[in-house]
Structure 1
């Protein structure tokens, strides 16, 4: 028996009438309200009249290509947060990479497997409830960023560790968020760099500490700070100020994570390789589901997908790296899992962090090839800090 949904509008954008009809019929059986559209231009025009719950968008169409339509949709003031699932004629990495770069949330290879489509639709349907629930316990973080580069770096690293991040760019915003979401916050990270517009990041850190006295407080700096700043930082937290200029990126992230969640081993790999990859994964009894990753690593993988498996689940993966034709077999454990959350103030990517347990020899050889020779690489070696 197929699961029932309350009726949600779903744009089905494909220049093939046959594909539109088949997909729309399945969506109707799920209780959705499919809106068939034959081009990217008609999709963008329809957005001016209504905002759907979800968009299924073919990558290769006559006229405007799907990735361009997706890019414009994500820039639309009313539809930027609408989940977009791209339909691709092949699951080749270069095809899926176009979808990822356009801002797509997920993809489905054609011909569409209806079990996989059903899973994506159900995930989007559940997103509203997840938003009301807020971040999972232990994963809500307020990041007060003194500089755009520091905020982007640390925020992205925290999100890829499964944290849900509230971003504040100045003191007034930081205090307002602390008051509004204090019960959902599990830690605070404050950049005390002197580049702050309000000048004294340490004074802000002290006010936040008073507002949320039992929350871990981590102080970081993007530039060299004088001795008195280091002394005041230690007085506030009992820990040294973390200076980005003195640490390798992974070392800084590891120190921040250790203070936010002591004893939790980070998923972030010590040596990450910037290779795009397509990931197909299955649980013991479920359908084959899809996702993609913008980096690969010998120890871990972040997979962006609307349908992550539960934390603790063991998965069988087929990973196809960019530039490769054949998929590699991988066994992995789900370290953390974030389903999509629509309407939440916290930012956390829909997806999952995986610890790789068994990697076939072909994939191991690719890691060996792309990790810089100065670092070396061996699956038998213990994890060590990266220097790049």
Structure 2
């Protein structure tokens, strides 16, 4: 006897995981405004009162985005971001600093030193948070394309950004992506791990590209064959400012790429917007390097290289706001670094700055550069 057909219930679809935003800071009016800005977005938001509590929180649930109020960086006790970031992982969620008009310069400097990757200015606006959450889904289609795209450089024999007279730090400030290898063999291993052909190899005089290719890392050879190389003489003091024009010429980039050798460390909130016939929403970020010719803006949501932007630069030490225009020289939108060293954000070259504002910038940079 045949049994009656039964209705087969379809298996439930997997639940969609929503991005989780972790807010770190004591409950106050600013966090209430943050909750209101997050409410229209499709995300899960939670709040803890301190970095110590955040350290415990991330053990149980991994956030997609971490927002830290600036007061948590100047509390002066307990765990800081230096302890929290290893818990988040090398390729962990980005950490954003939430700043207010009264945020002191030392809080911004502490955030820069402890590795914040973006800055949101109060009052928080929903479109700012929406842009950050959208960035977590993947880089925009223009990322790493075109003549002004950041290049991948291998520094074989350099232990980090401060090696070779700080050459790596200046190259990162030019927007390049850097693979560091403490030895020439380690550099080859990093190339294999990355699986991407570098645009230039820098190595010390006692090493050679032939030595690099002759190692047991045979898989690196297809990625290194034909790659131009530049030898750095470590017997004499390395002068990165004299190497930059030569490196840019070999990469086919403009030699005066923001003139980063003139920059000084200067942390301040920055707002930027694309210049065009239609009104554009302003976005916030933080500058950590400033020169009379341009500045670097840390942000997860930069605009495309070559775009003209308006700038509002808040100078916390002076209580002034500098309004000017610039053009984006390079841009790194958010994407997992996967072992490559580079800053998130964009380098902006000032345009049409009048003599009074230019003189003010030069005075400011000279004051910050003094020991």
Match of 1:358 among 352, 361, 368: 352
Tell me if structure 1 keeps the 8 A contact 2:20–2:44.
yes
Match of 1:286 among 280, 288, 293: 280
Hey, what does 1:108 align to over in structure 2? 120
Q: Secondary structure at the residue paired with 1:302?
A: strand
Q: Secondary structure at the residue paired with 1:286?
A: coil
**RMSD between aligned residues:** 3.4
Q: How far did 1:264 drift?
A: 5.4
Query: What residue ranges of structure 2 are gaps of 5+ in the alignment?
Result: 1-15
Q: Secondary structure at the residue paired with 1:76?
A: helix
Q: Distance in 2 between matches of 1:354 and 1:298?
A: 11
Match of 1:117 among 126, 129, 134: 129
Q: Distance in 2 between matches of 1:253 and 1:370?
A: 24
Hey, what does 1:36 align to over in structure 2? 47
Q: Secondary structure at the residue paired with 1:34?
A: strand
Matched, 1:277 2:277: no
Q: Secondary structure at the residue paired with 1:29?
A: coil
Q: Distance in 2 between matches of 1:277 and 1:62?
A: 15
Matched, 1:254 2:245: yes
Q: How far did 1:325 drift?
A: 0.8
Hey, what does 2:9 align to over in structure 1? none
Hey, what does 1:348 align to over in structure 2? 342
Tell me if structure 1 keeps the 8 A contact 2:172–2:342.
yes
**Which deviations, in whole Å up to 9, do the C-alpha atoms of 1:209-250 show, x marking residues without a partner?**
9652221211112224xxxxxxxxxxxxxxxxxxx44xx431
Structure 1 length normalisation: TM-score? 0.75
Q: How far did 1:120 drift?
A: 2.2
CA 1:262 to 1:355, structure 2 compared with 1: closer, same or farther past 3 Å?
Answer: closer
Alignment length (residue pairs): 339
Match of 2:227 among 200, 215, 219: 215
Q: Distance in 1 between matches of 2:46 and 2:208?
A: 50
Hey, what does 1:170 align to over in structure 2? 183
Q: Secondary structure at the residue paired with 2:290?
A: coil
Tell me if structure 2 keeps the 8 A contact 1:267–1:354.
yes
Tell me if structure 1 keeps the 8 A contact 2:143–2:333.
no
Match of 1:331 among 307, 325, 340: 325
Q: How far did 1:64 drift?
A: 5.2
Q: How far did 1:203 drift?
A: 4.9
Hey, what does 1:377 align to over in structure 2? none
Q: Distance in 1 between matches of 2:318 and 2:354?
A: 14
**Which deviations, in whole Å up to 9, do the C-alpha atoms of 1:343-378 show, x marking residues without a partner?**
5232221111111112255532233325669xxxxx
Q: Distance in 2 between matches of 1:256 and 1:144?
A: 15
Q: Secondary structure at the residue paired with 2:135?
A: helix
Please tell me whether Structure 1 or Structure 2 has the larger radius of gyration of its CA atoms.
2
Query: What residue ranges of structure 1 are gaps of 5+ in the alignment?
Result: 194-199, 225-243, 374-388
